[in-house]
Structure formats: C-alpha cells, structure tokens
Chain A
Amino acid sequence: MLSLYKNTIVKRYNIFKSRKPNGKFAFSSLLLFFGIVINSEIIYAQDYNASPTGNTGKVEADVIELEQGSNTVNALKGRVSGVEVENGKLKIRGQSNVEDKLAEPLVIIDGVQLPSGFSWSANDQFSPLNLLNSSSIESVEILKDADATAIYGGKGANGVVVIKTKKVLEQKLRVSVSAAAGSTGVDSWYDFLSTGEYLDIRNKAFAADGITPDEKNAYDLLLWGDKYNTDWQKEFLGQKGKVYNGNISISGGISNKTTFFINAGYFESGTVLLAEPDDKQQRINTKLLVNHRGLNNKLDITASIAFNKLNIQSRGDNPSSNLINAPNQPLYNDDGSLYWLNSSVVNPLRHKYVVTQNKGTDLITNLQTHYSFSSDLNAILDVGYSRNTAEQFQSYSGKYLNPYANNSYKNRVLAGDSYNEKFLVEPRINYTKKWDNHSLTALLGASYQADHFAGDDLELRDFPSEFFFRNYAVAPVKYLVNSNTEDIKRASVYTRIGYDYNAKYIFSGTIRRDGSSIFDRENRYGNFWSLAGAWIFSDENFIRNNLGFLNYGKLKISHGVTGNDNVTPFQYITAYGASTYPYEGGAGLILKRVANPQFSWEKTQKSEVHLDLAFLNNRLQVTGAGYLHISNSLVGNQPTAFQTGVDSYKDVLQDVVLRSRGIELDLVSTNIRNRNFQWLTTLTLTIPDNSRITSFPGIENTSYASTRKVGERLSITRLYQFTGINPENGVSTVKDVNEDGKITAADDKLFLKDTDPDYYGGLHNSFRYKNWQLDAFFYFEKRPFQEGYLKTYYYPAGYIGKNVPRSLVKDYWSPENPGGTLPGLTTTTTSDIGYAYFNHYTESSAVYTDASYIRLKNVSLAYTLPEAATRKLKAKNIRLYVRGENLWTLTEFDEWDPETQTAVPAFRTITAGATLLF
C-alpha cells in the first residue's frame, strides 16, 4: 500500500488515532472517542489518490452515530469548518455560480458517485443521502481546496464529500449487534394568544378601524364564538414519533486471504406532522463485501454490493401558514366532517387528507482491484455502478378541497417515478521512488463516467373515490406533467506528481484534462491544474532548538484552477420541445431555445494557506486555513431586448467575477489525560465571506438586476428601510430615499442586506471517567440578519382569522400608547395602517431579526460494562448509552426555529441503546 507519509507524519501527529489498531474492527470508538480528525495526512496515508498537501475535513463514525436523524449530512454541521449545512443540503466554501441551484458538492460513497438529489417530482426532499445508515458509515470527508479536489476534476468544483462505509477484513469471526429505541418530536412552542385574548384584540382592532363587525368581515367574532381554543402548533406538530434503530455486522474469513463483511440495519422513525399511526419512515440497509488477497499478496480485490431502501409515509405539506390560524376556528361539524365556512376560509386540518408515500432505493456496487507489480509500482482499477430509484406518490383526497370553492379537480394524485444510474471506471497507476532523503510519487489516472437519468411525473385527477388512488387507470383525467431522460458522460485523464525531501518539504502538482458532454464538441474539453507545497517547519533544527513547545508545525500553500460543468446541458443545440399545452389533442412542438454553442467550463481559481500546529506534547492541535476562490467564465442569463422574442439567453457572462473567501479554524485539545479521566475538546470555527459579486458590468440590464448587486453577496435582499411607527396614527413608515413623497419599490427599496452568517462552528467536549463517557456537542452560528416572524407570517395583529404570538401584542401603537414600537391594530388591508403594513412594513428591515443561536445538538452518555461482566456474557465488549438531540437552544430569533427557519423546528430526539461486540 502506498503510504508515503504515513510513517513520518501520522505517527508523530495523530496522538489519538495511533491508539486505534490500524484496520481493525470499526467498533473501536471506545478507544477513539474523539470525533474529529483534522489532519489530512491520516486520510491520505491510506488512500491511493491521496494528496498530502490538500485540505480536507473529516468526521468519523462515532460522531456521525450521534446524529440519529435520517440525514447523515446533518452530522457534519459544525463538525467541519468551511461546510455549511442548511436543511440537509451542503455547501462547501460558498458557491461559484450566479445561478442558485448549482452549488452542490460531489458526493462519493465507497468510490461511487451519488446523485446529489432528486429534484424531480412534487416533493424534492429525496436526497439519496437520506438512504444511508448513519451507523454503517465509517467516515465522511470533505475535500475543500484545489489540491485535495484536484483528482476529481470538474465534478469536484464545488467540493467533494467522500463517504466511506464500515468494513472489517479479518479472518476471525466477529459479530457486532446494536439496538436503540427512543422518541422524537417537537418540544418548543410559540406563545400564541388564547381564544379570549384573540377575540379581545380583534374587537379592539375593529374599534381602532372604526368599522362595525359583520358576518363578512368578522365571521370569527360573530359566527365562531369561543367554543374552540385550538393551539394549531400542537394540532399539527404535537405528536411524538417513536424511533427504533438496529444493526448487525458479521465479519470473518474463509481463509486469511478471503474475508467477508456483512452488515444489515433497520431504522424506523414515526413522523410528527398530523401523524396517523401508519405514518413513519423506515429504512433498510444491507451490505456485503468480499475481499481477496492473492498472488503473494500482490493482488487485492474487493467487491461490494450495498442495497438501501427507504419508505416514507407522511401527511400534509409545509404547515407554516396553518399554524397562525385563529384559535377559535371550528374544526369539525357535528357529523365529524371538516368544518368549512365559505370559499375563502381554509380549514387547516384538510392537510390530514394529503398523504405522501415516497419510496427510494439505492444500489451501490463496486469492484476495486489493486495489483502491486513491485514495491514501487501499483496499478488500481475501480469499477462502480450505482442506481437510485425514487417512487413518489402524493394523494389529495376530495376531503382536502373546500366544498364552497371552485375546484378544478377532485381526488387527485401526483405521482413521479425516476431513476438515476451512474457507471464509473477509474484506472490508475502509481509509481513511487525513494532514494536517500528524496521521495517521488507519480500517479497517472483516467476516469470515465456515464450517467443516465429517466423520470416521469404524472397528475391524475377526478378519481371516483379515494379507494382507487393506486389504480391510475381509473382516473378520468390524466396528465403527463413531465417526462425526460438525460445522459451525461464525462472523461478525464490526469497526473499527479508528488515529491518530498526528508518528509519536510513536500510538493505536489496535478494536471488534468476534463471532457464533458454538456458542452459542444468544440468546447467540450478543459485543462485544469493545481500546485501545492508544504513545509514541516517544526522539523527544522532552528525551530526545534528555539521553539521547544512546538511539537509540530506545518505550512501548506495550494493554488489551482478547477472547472465546473454544472450548467444547463445541451445549450449548443437549437431545440424544439413540447408546447405547454396540446392543441386539438396533439402535442405541439415549439422553439425552446436558439443554440449558443460558445460556452464551456466555468472556472474557479482556488488559493489556500493552511497552517497546522501542535503544542504541549501534542495535546493542543490547531489548524488554521484561509481560502480565496475567484470564479469567472460564469454561465448565466445574457439579457437581450425582447424584440428578439426572448429576454435573455444562456451565455458566458463577460467579466463577471464571484469571490468567496474565509478563514477556518479547527482546534483539538486534550485538556486532561489521566489513567482514569480524560477530557477532550474540539472546536471548529468558520468566518466566511462567500459568494460576493466583485464585478458584473451591465448588471442593471440583466435578469439579476433585482436580486444581485456588485460588491454584495448572492444572498442579499432588497428592502425598505424601516423608520419607525408614526406616533400620531400608528402607521409604519419607511425611508423615502429619493424624497419624491411616494414610496415606490424601484426608487425606495434600496436597503440591501445579506442573510449569510458572520461565523459558525461547533464545540465538542468529551469526558471519560473509567467506564463512563459523556459527550456534548454545541453548534453555534452568528447570523445577524434573517427574515423573521413578521416576514413569514405577515398579518398584523387584529387581522381576520390570523392569530399572533403574544409578543406582538405587547407594544402595539394605540392613541393611549403613542410610543408603541409595532404598528397599530387593524382588521383590513385598506386602512392606512393596513396598507402600510402589507406594502411597506413587511417589505422593510423591520421584519428582519437576528437569527443567531447556540444549540446543544448532541449529548451522549455511555457506559462500557466492566470486562468481567462482559466476559460472563461471552462478549468482547458491551456498551450502553443514552443520547439526546437538540435538547437546548439559546436564541433571540423570533421565528420558530433558527436552524430550520420554518415552522417545523429541529426535532428533539432521545434514544437509549446498547452495542454488543462478540
């Protein structure tokens, strides 16, 4: 195995990992109880492709396991600097394109690429990452800089996530069993007005407006009364779901040359939103891996096949808008059917009749062949195939529909089927030469990947009854909403040369040529490169002699150009496509786009400076990195006068530059290390300044004019500047920038602010006393400007049918309270207060708030049975644990949850379990 740097650096640096028997069973988390390993060398020492000079972050099994949710990605939040996790999506060091959708990193699992997500159908929550079993994951690495991502080429332009699943390759039979159970749900609630308080505010608002309530403008007052006092949050999200998790691994060998590893896991979690007993998600994970070593250990073959399955049944869709309904709104009629008043008042409980059933599967096969011609020369061939399927089904029962409304359909089903295939071949040759203090490695590699996607979306309407929902043929109205296939091929050749002198001066360089079928033949190929150098200055005598407290010090610098082909494919073809509607039954074809053959790879220059330090007998390790990414040759919408027939076409945007930069800090400290007691702290901190447009000539004429601005980040919003409540009439006021006496969006909505975090990170403390271990992980984020409650739920206090949190009726303006900080009460959009509220106030800086928070994301308490007791049970090791997620949050954010930023907060989950190793 090529391990150029292993002997030198790893031993010296990795104080924790050295205790882990190398390549032994993954259940070494007892010994290795500190989650994060910062230094890339460890990873790369065992990786053929490794770069000793690249920047990566890595999270290992024991940390990932702490996250019991269904999405493994969440486990990375705050664990790796430079990685933003938002609602299950990853963003690595900002984004490099002016179009929003294109910043997803490459995900590689056991050498096979996963699609980043299914955005095909009605509900796009179906990230393939949801199918992974967090307890079968050995490690998740994030590759960030140009050097580390270089061998992935264009695919890795937005960073690379490398997931490795657990495996053991030993002849001796080992069995590991784990099981856990617990409960999950929402545990923090907004403080809404009760029915009495709500009616009181409504009456006051009518008085303030000088309007007489009647059955049309005050049905809540005159028709509904105070019979009900519903807390809609509890109605929607009040239930708890049960969580079960079980896993078994068996490993062993037929001989010492042929070994196998089998893993099977089951996970189940009840859903919370309007849940019925059958609503839950279930996941099954299986994996078989066989390894054979032969020909005097020159040949090493690993074949693996993994199959994962996920079923989700849930109800309703985003409940946000329903949680603010009047507390006295009747729910049911006497006969148990839903209560409806008229065509415009919605009964929120109708969401009970929207049922979503999603089924996903995930097949990942991989064959890795490694042959050593000599100790200097190895050849590797990886062949992988993955196939993901998603079957999505969403039914809207007729009971969902308002019987008074003019419904264009009844009993409706939205259904989508899609699959994604990826086939990958990657041959590589490695050559190593060492002489005296010199070491040279050369890697020559190629890769070929073919992706295929196919999917259909159907809409089926007017089933005679719900009974037939699965029987599509029965539906009298059927639409094929969407149907497509897509093929993309990519091919690359690359070489990487590494050289080091005395393991002290390290250099590596990569050159590659990437081709992508996304571009026209003439523009299909791009050449990219990266260069990196590292200097282990702690090995210099002058440092050793003068700075004795420094155990390790390394400075790394990398620079490179990566290409991104993640643009809308096939723009080089003048294409016709189906018209939006058919005409006289026949599908029409219309001109969809006029070809633009010109564009090619987007380019990002990535530079990084990286410093690793270790002090106090390696008990304090600090890694700092600064990065600068400059993206140009960006593809976007080129505006044109509409007389052409279009307002823009895709083109390379001349001289548009996007910049991301930031500072990342990772720290590992062994505070106490005794025989009986150990305390370890890890800290990550990211201070980003990402995705800032530094140049965009003529932006005012583009479709980006209203959403982007030169010098600002991509996430900016345009707002009015709030200038307070008029003490005379309670009307909210905003700044009239051009002082023309009128408030108009074009002239006055000029207050710009981005919603990016100032910094974020995680703090993990781990304590071990004899057989006990306590872990606590806090995530923190400073995000000073985020749309808050008033933006999302934009009704003023006193408005018909809309409840408000108690905090919004504490200091509203009234003639008696002229200094009130909130607009006066109103029942209508047409009063002065109401007009300003809807048109200016909710579009102003007033409704943005500080969404910073600190959250105790994970706590785990574990106990390892004493050896004597374990032996009695014929086990090697037995461990019991209790885990909690999202137990505590500190925030001033005025909306439901600063993390999810929706009405569904991060669930609080508590589980207890045991792991046994035989």
Chain B
Amino acid sequence: MAARKPKLAVWKFSSCDGCQLNLLDCEDELLAIADSIEIAEFLEATRAQVRGPYDVSLVEGSISNDHDAERLRKIRKQSKLVIAIGACATGGGIQALRNGRDVDEFVRTVYAHPEFIDTLATSTPITDHIPVDFELRGCPVSKYQLLEVVSALLAGRQPRVPRHSECLECKMRGTVCVMVARGQPCLGPVTQAGCGNLCPSVERGCYGCFGPKESPNTASLADRFLATGSQRRRVREMFQSFNAAAPAFAKEAERHEPR
C-alpha cells in the first residue's frame, strides 16, 4: 500500500444528494474507509476542505447550467480518477425530463422571480462533458457497489460491477419473474443489474433505476408490453424516469411519443 493515503473528493451537481447519502449510509464501513482514504472534500459529511489535486473524485449529479459545466472541467483537471456516481451523473437524472420541452415556460410557471433563474435547456450526464474513468449506476447507487469500487481502487484491481441485465440478479436470488408469472411490465431485461434486486423481489416490475444494460433491446421489450396490454403512453413513461437522458431509454421513449 502507498505510504500516503489516497485523497478522495465527493462533488455534487444537479442532484438530490441521495447517492452521497448512500456513502454516509455505509456506517460500519465508514471507519475503514476513513482509515484507508483521506477525505478531502465531502460537504455532505464535513465542512473541512482540502485543496486538490485529488486521487479520486466521485461526481454526483447532472449538468444543468454553464457554471457547473466549467466547475466540472476543473474537477477533471485536478483528479487522477473521476467516477460518475448515480443516475443523474450517468443518465441525466429525473431532471432530464425537461430535455426537448419548453424550459422557459417551466421557469415562468414554477418560480416567482424567473429572472433569477439561469439554467440550460437540458440536463445532461457528467459523461457528456468530460471523460470519466468509471460509471456507477443507480438511483441511488448501491452502497455495496460503491464500497466495491473504492475497495477495487485501493487494491488496484478491476471493480466487480457487471453490466448485464437485472434478470440475472433475479434468477440468482431465486426471484420468480414478475413479467412472466404475473404479467407485470418490467424493465429488468434492459436494465443493468446491481440494485440488489429491490423491486422484483417484492413482486414489482423493475423501474430501470440502474439505466440501460449492455446491448439493451428496448424496442423488443416495449413491443411486448404493448402486445400484452400496456398503453403506449404508459410504455413511454416507463422509459422516462431516472435515466431519461440515457440514449437507449431516450430513444425508446421517443418512439412512443404521440404523433
């Protein structure tokens, strides 16, 4: 192990802080993390800030204004490794639902003083703006995957974060398929595993929080939803959630827009 502890920074952009909270939620493991790593920036946990450069930056949130885009580029310059964490950073987040809509109208409707709002027309993933070294999916990220990535970095090995479907997680756990056995629409076959099988294990179809899996065949799955009784609007909305700007999901949702 290196004599100097690696410096870790945690950064927030447009997001709900839920992924950072999952890092805090590591509780039992936090002391071990603090023993192995110097936490240089993590405002959710401490006001203490240490100047860069950083060995590892965890970046939460999406880019929704010019200022943030500039701040992100500076973080990239100061960091050896950048890891995008969570659906906002990797797929634009729920706020990407505004993409392609009339943002000025939203601002006028929501804010008493629209003139104070300085925002881009789109919310885009971190990965659209800078090269990242690793993407950790999820809304929020899984604390187990977060610990795995940190452990892997410390050990200098590849993180064990497979990009296959959520279906494998169901089958390995012994969860019976909610789509086949109960007729529920489920995004599991096009969604990356890793959540810990949260929804299917309580007989709910997958919401796609972990974003598109490798080679997602969204069209075939959506056609199946339609053929088994789902309304087209409902199918569109399934792909328009936490990973709305992830290209595979955005493209599928677009296919079901009213003409």
- Chains A and B belong together in one complex: no
